[in-house]
Structure 1
């Protein structure tokens, strides 16, 4: 059996003025490594394990049970689970493995996170989060920054690393993601994920729930019911959320005119684009561009 490839970097977490005695004056390490080997495994390490499975992964074996079709998802395992990741024979990275000592989550940085309140890491089930389209790239950027920062000796890097880890958890805990368990084959969750993928692909052409319901061979009513049950919002909310996110990005990070941004996102006129953003955010496109 191959053993877990020792991660390239280790960092000491913040010690001293923290509220929890289990962390004060203790040296703990967060470990991160890219998934590069054909088989990556770990057993009996007193750490929570977080995986971002990107692609080119054939499956993950957890306590001798193999799970497939796991790309573009984040998994959380408590230290009682043994695991192996089986990867195709490629030289490219297929995501990241993040090992977090138990005491880290007691740090005040994480005390108000819902992800901690629901004890995501301590459940007997295997929590799985299918990332919303667009969030995947942010997760990759955060983990790449963590990997880079851990290898440096910059002043205050410990605080920066904790901040990045907190940001990672916030994105994972967002309402736009689909939370389930790895053993869950729930048809409604699968439909909602397909709906979100379809929005990501066709948002510039189609803003109506009916188009996506028809493409998925379900009724508008059933699609709304599924989205409401899985995510707690209606189907139109997901469409509007994606439009707002793309509008903000184009307005802030491109030189396109407001008219050009609106037309590229499928709005019939600049006035209607402005009306939509004002209704959704409370700000006009011009205000969003400078804020």
Structure 2
């Protein structure tokens, strides 16, 4: 009986470890090592990173000049582009909100470091850099161990990095763009794509209207619509509809989700709303396509 219980506990622990391993990743990057930076296109991964070297961080309406070491917090709902000369080094950690949820009373979306409209760039003096880089080294070392509670330890280190950010004043050296249409359109398309692919009902779309994207980009919806139409020749609503239709086709043809589940995943309150939308945009019904 005792042996069976031990085996069962081992299996359960292995499942838990596998789940936690999918929720957090970290690396140290260095141009001399030609490290491949982990992808950051998933809609549910937050990112905390340190960059050492001259660079720029471009948001929809402004650019932050980074002339030195900086600690940066990234929300998956706020797109950006990063520009450097390729000689930057530093650390990176990406994680899902559920990984740190047990230690926090607020949602990361409401955190001063991650909420939409925040200025999550912090310059690091020698002391702060030593503290933060030491925490990253400990995360990397812990990921290599087989200690049964290593993910709890890593969770603690991530929260300590978050607290280091909360102690600091954000960098305010932001440069406004006088003509940001191209940048806004590009970031809108990136943010739209970041919601896909849909792989389960728990990943339902959260941004379905132009106003949702405008909020994430911290611009007025009319400004967003004007920029997208000026650069692409199509309206924001058309881009959203086209991408939803493309995802609907993929799910209908290549997934086992029911049509009702697909409708829910794509942000439709009722299946008949989805049916009408799909027929209007494709000329056929979801059921007909699936058959």
TM range (shorter): 0.3 to 0.5
If the length of structure 1 is used for normalisation, what is the TM-score?
A: 0.44
Name the structure, 1 or 2, with higher relative contact order (CA <8 Å, separation 6+).
2
Output the TM-score relative to the length of structure 2: 0.44
In terms of fraction of residues, the more helix-rich structure is 2
